[in-house]
């Protein structure tokens, strides 16, 4: 009886150790964030980006000037639009985008401009419901649409053009700001560099 007890105790200890080691294979949030920061620094270097410490007082950005927002998103305003601002839960917004998902050594290029692509559509303030709707779809919304795209509308209006870097770890009001794809891999976050985003109010 004693031998059985010791044998079972030994088995349980080994299983506990295996379980503990396998759990430790999952990176922590800080490790994921740190690894993604390395990729973001690479994007900043490759694109010759100057990171501003605050939003320009006159609202005018240089070609490669980006400001880091409190969410962790980097933004460059190419054109702030025609002065018409989106109204919460009332304005329907159509966006076309192009850029790169940095999920491999060679980033994946996407483009929804032109006749072959469809714009992303959402109601201002409700972008996360659109993200949730497409969470398991595997479509373009899943790949590269998130609240980060909507967040720029705090600063720009109808017919605006912006560039963004949206980290997979970025959050807006404790909700992920990136696309579902960016944080789907528990081993790695993927940043997205949006080379161009255009907003049209509908």
Residues 6+ apart with CB under 8 A from 161: 77, 78, 79, 196, 197, 198, 199
What is the pTM (predicted TM-score) of this model?
A: 0.86
Number of Cβ atoms within 10 Å of the Cβ of 53: 6
pLDDT tens-place string over residues 81-120:
999 999 999 999 999 999 999 999 999 999 999 876 789 9
Q: Residue 128 pLDDT > 70, yes or no?
A: yes
Check pLDDT > 70 for residue 1.
no
Yes or no: say if 160 and 79 are a contact pair by the CB < 8 Å rule. Answer: yes
Sign, Cα dihedral of 32, 150, 198, 58: negative
Average pLDDT over residues 184-201: 95
**pLDDT for residue 9 is more than 70:** no
For 27-69, write each residue's pLDDT tens digit: 898 999 999 999 999 999 999 999 999 999 999 999 999 999 9
What pLDDT, on a 0 to 100 scale, did the predictor assign at position 22? 46
Share of residues in the chain with pLDDT > 90 (%): 80
């Amino acid at each position: 009886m004693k031998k059985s007890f010791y044998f079972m105790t030994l088995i349980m200890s080994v299983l506990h150790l295996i379980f503990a080691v396998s759990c430790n294979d999952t990176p922590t949030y800080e490790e994921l964030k740190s690894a993604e920061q390395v990729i973001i620094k690479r994007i900043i270097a490759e694109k010759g980006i100057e990171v501003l410490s605050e939003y320009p007082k006159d609202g005018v950005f240089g070609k490669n000037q980006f400001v880091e927002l409190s969410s962790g998103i980097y933004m460059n305003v190419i054109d702030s639009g025609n002065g018409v601002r989106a109204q919460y839960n009332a304005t329907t917004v159509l966006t076309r985008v192009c850029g790169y998902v940095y999920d491999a050594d060679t980033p994946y290029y996407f483009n929804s401009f032109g006749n072959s692509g469809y714009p992303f559509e959402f109601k201002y303030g409700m972008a996360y419901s659109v993200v949730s709707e497409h969470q398991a779809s595997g479509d373009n919304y899943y790949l590269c649409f998130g609240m980060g795209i909507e967040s720029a509308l705090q600063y720009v209006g109808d017919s605006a053009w912006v560039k963004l870097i949206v980290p997979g770890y970025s959050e807006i009001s404790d909700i992920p700001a990136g696309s579902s794809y960016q944080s789907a891999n528990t081993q790695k976050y993927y940043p997205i560099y949006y080379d161009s985003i255009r907003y049209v109010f509908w």
